Amino acid sequence: MKHLLSAKEAAPRFGVSPQTLHRLARKGKIPHYQIGSRRSFDPLELEEVFRRSTCLQTLKEAGHG
């Protein structure tokens, strides 16, 4: 079973606000699990998304994207 975190728990790990996680989830930009009105996040999945995003941003800044 996956260990899921609330937005409040996950946000500090990734340097964003809980509101940012909710907004990204609502827009389909990050993986999440929703049961009723509660969204939960798998920290391993978020780590991969944010790592990939950081790599892409670094490439763009270096003129490779």
- Predicted confidence (pLDDT) at residue 62 exceeds the cutoff of 90: no
pLDDT tens-digit series, residues 24-59:
999 999 999 999 999 999 999 999 998 888 776 766
Measured CA to CA, the distance from residue 65 to residue 58 in angstroms comes to 9
pLDDT of residue 23: 92
Q: What is the DSSP string of 3-61?
A: --B-HHHHHHHHTS-HHHHHHHHHTTSS--EEETTEEEB-HHHHHHHHHHHHHHHHHHH
pLDDT of residue 59: 64
